[in-house]
């Protein structure tokens, strides 16, 4: 599809092409058409579809029936499939029709698993790699024919590596979810702290309300927002005051306020104080001040690890350590560790990174070496590894891998920086600002007994969310303004997309975390690999392989944070024994309040 923009709930489809393929890979049908979206076509310089060209074309509802018939009982395949699926879902909902898709397959996610030796994962790059002819880029029908060829080649490579396909279930989606929501406006002022006894309110104070009020809740919130207060739906240690007419209430907010020592005032006092609110300090005035070093959030339980190491920049390949000895004999190599207890495997992966290599979590075309720990010979992948004739080593090889030899033909021309746990890298600013959108993708070994969820928190200078919608998770996969989004590429891969250029000045940090649903721990799941790229199919700038210890159920993966005018990325790798509820509460979110109704 070509679209008028990137946000499915707001933008429209301008052209669509569908190619159907049989189980043996043969094309069985195709359909394509331009569409009249009834709105501005957006970036004409990208897709070339002017309003004049689209005039007289059918509307989506006029072709939805035919498209639906072609999709019926098939797997929807697309490059960045969630994008296409979301746009189709919104267009079908506008047409008051059901989108007949129950599974989708993303060729971008599939090729991230295959890991071909290409500079990036763009459609044209993969077409050239797999020998698929491309005639007209950004032409919907030609792009779809090219995609069908890439699919065939990618499936062959996945079969050669014995990789599970990253199929994503597409449950029915309620039409109300596709109703555009007006973005909430973040408070323009910094939080000045708590309300002093007998003192005035000040712009930026975080205020929560609980219980029955004589004035309607909407009016109270509206009046407070109008004078510059930051109205919250939850209570945290950063709340300035709780408004309630029932000081002995047993509500969740009242109990949390009592536990945190948050001042409590009644409605009458609140209304009186609204008439004289003191001027606050705007976020714009502090947006480019030198920030303090990032800190680990003050959560409700003690982490099982020591504090995250101080940030340090990664060294380039071929450099030497401070003591003058070469310390990167595995530079350019990708090592898969099999077997061993979790702590032993984690130590081996840490050693790989310390020696300049990259630690893999899954078998791919990019793996150059395999280290077998105790029991590794029983791994289901060992037969395929043997057939691929990959070098096998025992744990002693990591002591002094001097005989590693060349990395082989799969070495990438532009290998990403390999960050250790706690490692930091500045995001490039070629034109004075970072790339508009950055993608952090987390991947792990496929799990049969549990699910891993990737989440994100949009935080202010207090490391708290401004409102509940600043918590991005499976229930609310997109922030109101669309600046942070959760994308699912498969059962063992999820991505957080962040539009840094559009974040408000109040945002100082984006934290990306993973949580395990159920009683399993990261000791069962193993390592999480993260990669960061300036675009959905761009070459990764940095990667890291993160191991929590044996008992954690949540783990901080990465964070974007401001350092003066520069945005930085930090690989965190901090695990916690508690679940997602407690992790979210530490950032000022109550999941029960954040989850959508129904």
402 phi, psi to nearest 5 deg:
-75, -20
CA nearest neighbour of 415 among 528, 312, 316, 337 = 316
Which pLDDT belongs to residue 56?
92
Residue 528 to residue 291: CA distance in whole angstroms: 29
CB 83, CB 108: distance < 8 Å:
no
Q: Quote the pLDDT of residue 292.
A: 36
Q: β-pairing, 566-576 with 554-563?
A: antiparallel
Helical H segments across 315-429, by residue range? 342-354, 382-387
Q: Which residue in the block uniquely carries the two structure tokens 């949390």?
A: 256
Token readout for 128 is: 């050239």
Rg of the chain in Å (alpha carbons): 26
What would the two tokens of residue 162 be? 């014995």
Residue 458: predicted pLDDT: 95
Beta strands in 140-251, from DSSP E residues, in sequence order: 167-169, 206-209, 230-232, 241-243
3-state helix, strand, coil in the chain (%, to 5): 25, 25, 50
- In eight-state DSSP terms, residue 112 is H
Distance (Å, rounded) from C-alpha 45 to C-alpha 14? 14
Residue 476 backbone dihedrals phi, psi, to 5 degrees: -135, 85
Q: What pLDDT is attached to residue 402?
A: 66
Q: Give me the pLDDT at residue 555, please.
A: 94
Question: How far is 141 from 150, CA to CA, in rounded Å?
Answer: 14
Closest CA to 354 of 333, 372, 338: 333
- What's the confidence (pLDDT) of residue 315? 43
Structure tokens at 153: 């080649």
Spell out the long-range contacts of 300-307 with Cβ–Cβ below 8 A and sequence spacing 24 or more.
300/578, 300/582, 300/585, 300/586, 301/576, 301/577, 301/578, 301/582, 303/574, 303/575, 303/576, 304/549, 304/551, 304/552, 304/575, 304/576, 304/577, 305/548, 305/549, 305/574, 305/575
Contact predicate 159/114, CB 8 Å: no
Confidence (pLDDT) at 16: 95
Residue 363, Cβ neighbours under 10 Å: how many?
Answer: 24
CA–CA distances in Å: residue 425 to residues 93, 286, 369, 473? 42, 23, 27, 26
The residues with which 437 forms a beta bridge, in sequence order, are 499
> What are the pLDDT tens digits along the chain (598 aa)?
999 988 888 899 999 999 999 988 889 999 999 999 999 999 888 788 899 999 999 999 999 999 999 998 899 999 999 999 999 999 998 998 888 898 999 999 999 999 999 999 999 999 999 999 988 877 888 999 999 999 999 999 999 999 999 999 886 554 444 444 444 677 888 899 999 999 999 999 999 999 988 888 888 888 898 899 998 888 888 899 999 998 788 888 898 899 999 999 999 999 999 989 999 988 765 444 333 333 434 333 333 333 333 344 444 434 444 433 457 899 889 999 999 998 899 999 999 999 999 999 999 999 999 999 999 999 999 999 999 999 999 999 999 886 555 554 445 556 889 999 999 999 987 776 666 789 999 999 998 888 999 999 999 888 988 888 899 998 889 888 889 999 999 999 999 999 998 888 889 999 999 999 878 899 889 899 999 999 899 999 999 999 876 789 999 999 999 888 889 999 999 999 988 999 998 898 887 655 554 4
């Amino acid at each position: 599809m070509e679209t008028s923009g990137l946000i499915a709930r707001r933008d429209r489809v301008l052209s669509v092409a569908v190619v159907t393929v049989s189980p043996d890979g043969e094309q069985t049908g195709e359909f394509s058409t331009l569409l009249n979206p009834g709105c501005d076509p957006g970036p004409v310089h990208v897709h070339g579809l002017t309003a004049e060209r689209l005039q007289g074309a059918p509307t989506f509802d006029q072709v939805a029936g035919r498209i639906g018939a072609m999709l019926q009982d098939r797997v929807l395949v697309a490059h960045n499939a969630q994008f296409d699926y979301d746009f189709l879902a919104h267009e079908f909902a506008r047409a008051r029709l059901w989108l007949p898709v129950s599974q989708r397959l993303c060729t971008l996610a599939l090729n991230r698993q295959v890991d071909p030796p290409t500079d990036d994962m763009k459609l044209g790059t993969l077409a050239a790699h797999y020998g698929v002819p491309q005639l007209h880029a950004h032409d919907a029908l030609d792009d779809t024919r090219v995609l069908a060829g890439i699919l065939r080649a990618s499936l062959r490579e996945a079969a050669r590596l014995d990789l599970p396909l990253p199929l994503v279930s597409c449950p029915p989606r309620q039409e109300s979810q596709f109703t555009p929501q007006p973005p909430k406006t973040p408070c323009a002022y910094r939080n000045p702290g708590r309300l002093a006894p007998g003192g005035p309110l000040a712009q930026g104070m975080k205020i929560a309300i609980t219980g029955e009020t004589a004035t309607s809740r909407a009016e109270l919130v509206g009046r407070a927002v109008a004078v510059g207060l930051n109205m919250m739906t939850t209570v945290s240690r950063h709340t300035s005051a709780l408004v309630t007419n029932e000081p002995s209430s047993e509500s969740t907010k009242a109990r949390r306020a009592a536990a945190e020592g948050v001042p409590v005032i009644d409605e009458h006092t609140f209304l009186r104080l609204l008439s004289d609110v003191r001027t606050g300090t705007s976020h714009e005035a502090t947006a480019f001040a030198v920030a303090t070093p990032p800190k680990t959030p003050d959560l409700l339980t003690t982490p099982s690890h020591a504090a995250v190491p101080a940030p340090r920049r990664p060294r380039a390949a071929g450099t030497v350590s401070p003591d003058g000895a070469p310390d990167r004999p595995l530079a350019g190599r990708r090592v898969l560790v099999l077997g061993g207890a979790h702590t032993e495997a984690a130590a081996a992966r840490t050693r790989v990174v310390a020696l300049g290599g990259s630690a893999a979590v899954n078998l791919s075309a990019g793996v150059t070496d395999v280290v077998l720990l105790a029991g590794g010979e029983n791994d289901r992948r060992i037969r395929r590894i043997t057939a691929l004739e990959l070098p096998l080593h025992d744990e002693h090889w990591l002591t002094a891998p001097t005989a590693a030899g060349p990395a082989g033909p799969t070495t990438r021309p532009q290998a990403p920086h390999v960050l250790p746990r706690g490692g930091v890298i500045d995001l490039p600013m070629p034109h004075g600002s970072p790339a508009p959108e950055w993608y952090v993708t987390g991947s792990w070994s496929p799990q049969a007994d549990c699910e891993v969820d990737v989440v994100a928190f949009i935080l202010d200078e207090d490391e708290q969310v401004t409102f509940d919608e600043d918590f991005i998770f499976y229930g609310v996969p997109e922030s109101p303004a669309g600046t942070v989004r959760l994308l699912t590429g498969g059962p063992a891969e999820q991505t957080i997309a962040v539009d840094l250029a559009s974040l408000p000045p109040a945002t100082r940090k984006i934290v990306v975390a993973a949580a395990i649903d159920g009683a399993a721990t990261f000791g069962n799941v193993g390592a999480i690999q993260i990669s960061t790229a300036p675009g959905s199919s761009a070459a990764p700038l940095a990667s890291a392989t993160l191991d929590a210890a044996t008992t954690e159920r949540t783990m901080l993966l990465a964070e974007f944070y401001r350092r003066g005018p520069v945005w930085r990325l930090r690989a965190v790798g901090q695990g916690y024994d508690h679940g997602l509820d407690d992790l979210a509460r530490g950032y000022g979110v109550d999941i029960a309040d954040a989850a959508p109704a129904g």
